[in-house]
Amino acid sequence: MEEEKKKVEESANLKNNIRLFDEFDMDVTINNPGLANVISLKPFILPKSAGLYSQQRFSRRRINLVERLITHLMVPGHKGKKHLRTSKISSGRYYTAFKIVDGAFKRLKKEGKNPMEVFVRAVENSAPREEVMTLLIAGQRIAKQVDTSPMRRVDIAIRWIAQGTFQLSFSGKKAKDSLYEILLSASNNLETSFPISKRIDAERQAASSR
């Protein structure tokens, strides 16, 4: 019995000692109860599932939140017809996106902040609660307000963080510095932050379509 207890304690201590990139503490509390079940903060040294959950339904909730950010930075999404301009520097390059996230987190740590906590707060503040969808009724397109599911809230928040990062990097800043600014401003819920402004616009449109 004593040997089994020792093994359990050793495994628990080993799990608690796992740090993101072998440097950042991942022990963070999710304040938003609506997002708690769709944000995975399972400790990993290098968060890369390599498609492990790709064949499982609603599998994104099991993928580490940092890995989801890295994959969004690899393909940050279309911006009108400027998809090549927004993603060519990191499209398909995991290590490039990894260095961007690692550089931003290191800068946050130098300022005495917990990078994972800043990131989680940025996602919580950027996640929209409602959106507008278009319904086709009697040949007319009508805008209708709908509540956003928790999983989609996180997806949209990470997408806006990635898009805001690359928009700032076009002004001459390094991508890691742009991500640092986006995460810091979004975690403080500043309206000047790109993801926060996008969330406010989406919720304003939804409110006018009720």
Give 30-83 pLDDT, tens digit per residue.
999 989 999 988 888 888 887 788 777 778 888 899 999 998 888 766 665 556
Give 78-115 pLDDT, tens digit per residue.
665 556 555 566 666 888 889 999 999 999 999 999 99
Measured distance CA(20)–CA(64) in Å, rounded: 11
- 81: tokens are 């017809």
Q: If you write DSSP's letter for every residue of 86-116 in order, what string do you get?
A: HHTTTTT-HHHHHHHHHHHHHHHHHTT--HH
Domain boundaries, the chain: 2-208
CATH of the structural domain 2-208, one choice from 3.40.50.300, 2.160.20.60, 1.10.455.10, 1.10.486.10: 1.10.455.10
Give 111-129 pLDDT, tens digit per residue.
999 999 999 999 999 999 9
